[in-house]
Structures are given as structure tokens and as C-alpha cells.
Amino acid sequence: MKLDLVEYCQDKGLPSEWRLDGCQLDNVNLIVGKNASGKSKILRAINLISGLLSGDASLRPDRMSREWKLTFDSDDADNKKIYILTVYQGQVVKENFSIGSKNYLDRNESGVGVIWAEKLQTFMDFQTPADEVAAFQRRDSIQHPVFDEIYNWASSLSYYQFGTDLGRKNLAVDSRIKKIRKSINKREGNNVIEVFQLGKSQSGQSFIEAIKSDMSFIGYNISDIDIQTPSLLFSDEEDEVSDKIDLKWLYVQESDLKDKTEQNLISQGMFRALSLIIQINYSLLAKKPSCILIDDIGEGLDFERSSAMIKLLISKAQTGFVQLVMTTNDRFIMNGVPLEYWSVIERKPRLAKLHNIDNSKQIFEDFKFTGLNNFDFFATQFYVEGFGNKEQIDQ
């Protein structure tokens, strides 16, 4: 199942209202916009609803008013899936799910609704707690199998904030793999050590070779990667703890160095790349379609490595198992991603309007004849005059 269109509004009717318009998604997507234009907010909105649909306890309806309309598989009219959710002050006030012309779920703010029962071939009345999402709570492979697909999409979604340390400051307890598999939250980008342990346990050397190959592609040549107990010295109090709990972190063996480079000594840019590569390769192990959100892609990398990282990620998305949604305002990244993958944010008061080659084709086509590089599309009059005036963009 592939997410094709996101419609979103928060605080509707209030002075703080903010709305997303024109967020059409393909297999590879680069959302481009100036600072404070809404790039991160878009990814957070997608991540939040995926958490609600997958039962992630860390992502619950908050006090804000939020409305989502997600459209999946829109190329097939008979199989087009539309999910609508409205929450207000921590309560679900509207929820609806349809496939093609048929409605499968409809509930109101009291939690009362109707749901299609596949085996019985009829609609059933139901009531679910007002603060819970029925599409998750009513999952039933026998009577309500249609919700399995939306759950699988939501639970396989990953959200990475590339501008953060992506787990560089974290250590992991050397637990049995079964325990790790039950407790790990693959949605978080900070659990890279546990994800590495899982990938290694499931695929062994082939998982490690994939990581080494990808790191080499972006300019980091490593001959080995694994986990070990940190060699740094603990204080007396910490020594007592470390005797009882076997802490681990990552290390790499760089090809041109004699000694291992432990996690705390890996440069921030290199570790961000390593963490993302480990986690994406693990996602690909399952060979199930997944949606990967990456905010501020390439932050902290130089031109060659950021360009190579983009090429690598696009190649992963082209396997068909990954839908890639990235954000940036970085020149290197923009020049490395073809315009056909771009969505440019036109910022207006209380609105982020996205323009892409589908809904603003003439503007994109006209730019191709200028001979300028991609960043100039964002920085020149094509951006200013094509999508709005300068005052609107700089607000």
C-alpha cells in the first residue's frame, strides 16, 4: 500500500490554524522549502497519524485539533483507499475508512459507529473508547481484514531526523535478540544498536556486507562493523552498574586506520550516515513496502557525500519496497535530486501549499530550458514568481 496524497489541518478556525495543501507523493519525494516553511511539520503530521494507526503508545491524540485525510493506491479507482481522522482535545471525533466506493468504517465522537464484517457480509454496530482509533482497535483478520493493510503501512513507517545524532549518544544492553525484538521501537532513529543486532542475527554477514557496501558508496570505506563493550573508563559508581549490565555500542574498522573507531569517536556526519544505512537496510530485509521519512537529509555531510547519499537512497526507493519522503533546504541535496521528485513549498499565512511536476507542470517544464542547476529553481525568480510573491515566501 502506497501513500499518494496527504491532506492535513490543525487548529481549524483558530488564529493558529495551519493547513497542508497539494501534498502528492510518489515513490521518491523531496520536499523543498525555506526555513520555517513547514517541512518538518509535514513529516511530523504523517508520523503522528502512523503512530495512531499502529498503536504506538508514545504517539497519542493531544489537546490540539487535527484533521487528516490520507489517500492510498489512487491509481486504481476500485482499490483506492481513503482514511479520514479528526481528533480534538485528545478525543477522536470522526473516523472513516473506504475502499473504492465501499465504506468499511464510520464512527462518531462518542465512539459509536458501524463497521463491515467480512465473514458475516454485513455491517456491525460497535463502540470503541472515544480516545482510541477504531482502525487499530478493531483489527481482526477474520472479520475486518481490510485494517491489516493500513496497520502494516503504519507500523512499518520510519521517521528519521537527520539533523540529530541518530543514536550516537545511546548505548544498548546486550540482551537476547528475542527480548530486543519485542521491545524495540523501529520508528525511532535512536535505536540503531538494537536494529544492528537484529539485522545481524537475522541475516548475518550479508547484512554487514550491505552496510559496508553502502558506506563505501558514499565515501566511507570500512572493513568491519560490529558492537562491543565501550573501552572508555567508568567512574567507581558506574563500574558497579557495568558489572551487572553488559553495555554495548557500535564500532567501525576504517580501512586506512589500524585501530577500531568506537561510536563516541565516529564523526557526527559519518555516524548519521551509518545509522541511517543500518536502519534502512534492516527495513529492506523484511521485503515489505515501507514508508521512510527523513527530515533535513544530508545535514552535516559535504557535497560529495550528500550527493552520494541521495543517489543511494533513491536506488533503495526504486526497489519498490521503500517510499522515500525527504525534506531539505540544502543546496547540495537539491542539486542531487532530479526536479521530477521535488515538491516546493509556497508558504502563505496559515498554509503550506506544495507544488510539484504534476500540479505545476508548466513552471517545472519552463525551468528545464534555462540551463540552470536545480538549486537555482529554488533561489531564483522561478520560485518567487511561479509560486507566489516574495513577501509571501519570506513571511
DSSP letter for each residue of 223-245:
EEEEEE---SPPPHHHHHHHHHS
Strands 81-88 and 66-72: antiparallel
| Cα angle: 182, vertex 186, 189; to 5 degrees | 140
Q: Give pLDDT < 50 ranges for the chain.
A: 178, 233, 235-236, 242-244, 389-395
Question: How far, CA to CA in Å, does 346 sit from each of 13, 230, 382, 393?
Answer: 21, 47, 12, 6
Residue of 225, 202, 217, 209 lying closest to 285 (CA atoms):
202
Residue of 299, 307, 253, 270 lying closest to 192 (CA atoms):
270
Under 8 Å between Cβ of 115 and 144: yes
pLDDT at residue number 386: 61
Under 8 Å between Cβ of 271 and 165: yes
Collapsing DSSP to helix, strand or coil, 160 comes out as strand
Under 8 Å between Cβ of 80 and 100: yes
Alpha carbon distance 102, 100 (integer Å) = 6
pLDDT at residue number 244: 45
pLDDT at residue number 184: 65
- Which domains, and CATH codes, for the chain? 3-394 (3.40.50.300)
> Is 0.95 topped by the overall pTM?
no
